[in-house]
Amino acid sequence: MSYSRSTSGIRALTVLLVLLLAACALTVPEPVLVERPLDLVGDVNLIQAIQAPSENALLEVGVQVFGTAQKEAGAYKLGDWVFDEIIQKETQFLPHLLKNTLVDSNQWGAIRVIPESDPSLDLIIAGQIIQSDGETLELQIRAIDSSGREWLNRTYADQSVQEEYPESTRFTLNNTFDAINFIDPFQDIYNRIANDLVAMRASLDEQTLGDLNLVTDMLYASDLSPDTFSDSIKKDENGLLIVDRLPSLDDPMMARVADMKYRHHLFIDTVDEYYQTLYDDIQPAYVLWRRYSIDQIVEIETSQQEANRSDYGRSSGFLSLSQRYDRFKWSKIFEREFSDLAAGFNNELAPAFLELNSQVHGLTGTMEQQYREWRGILRNLFELENGELTTDATE
pLDDT one-digit tens code per residue, 245-259: 877 767 788 888 888
Average pLDDT over residues 182-204: 95
Task: Report how far residue 385's alpha carbon sits from residue 378's, in angstroms, rounded to the nearest whole number.
Answer: 10
Task: Report how far residue 33's alpha carbon sits from residue 26's, in angstroms, rounded to the nearest whole number.
Answer: 18
Is 361 within the bounds of a domain? yes
Average pLDDT over residues 209-214: 94
Quick check: 284 and 179 in contact, CB under 8 A?
yes
Is 4 within the bounds of a domain? no
More confident residue, 280 or 314: 280
Task: Report how far residue 165's alpha carbon sits from residue 192's, in angstroms, rounded to the nearest whole number.
Answer: 21
The set of residues, in sequence order, having a beta carbon less than 8 Å from that of 252 and lying 6+ positions away, is 389
Is 310 within the bounds of a domain? yes
Q: Which of 196, 254, 186, 187 is nearest to 225 (CA)?
A: 254
Q: What is the predicted pLDDT for the residue at 44? A: 96
Is 16 within the bounds of a domain? no
Average pLDDT over residues 94-111: 96
Is the predicted pLDDT of residue 99 greater than 60, yes or no? yes
Confidence of residue 141 (pLDDT cuts 50, 70, 90): very high
Beta bridge partners of 131: 138
Q: Is the pTM of this model over 0.85?
A: no
Task: Report how far residue 291's alpha carbon sits from residue 67's, in angstroms, rounded to the nearest whole number.
Answer: 23
Is the predicted pLDDT of residue 329 greater than 60, yes or no? no
Longest C-alpha distance within the chain, in Å?
119
Number of domain units in the chain: 1
Is 149 within the bounds of a domain? yes
Q: Which of 34, 27, 82 is nearest to 303 (CA)?
A: 27
Instruction: Judge residue 40's burial from the number of C-beta atoms within 10 Å of its C-beta, 0-12 exposed, 13-18 middle, 19 or more buried.
Output: middle
Q: Which domain holds residue 151?
A: 37-394
Is 91 within the bounds of a domain? yes
Is 12 within the bounds of a domain? no
Range with the largest mean pLDDT of 68-72, 86-90, 159-163, 185-189: 185-189
Is 15 within the bounds of a domain? no
Beta bridge partners of 360: 363
Instruction: Judge residue 205's burial from the number of C-beta atoms within 10 Å of its C-beta, 0-12 exposed, 13-18 middle, 19 or more buried.
Output: exposed
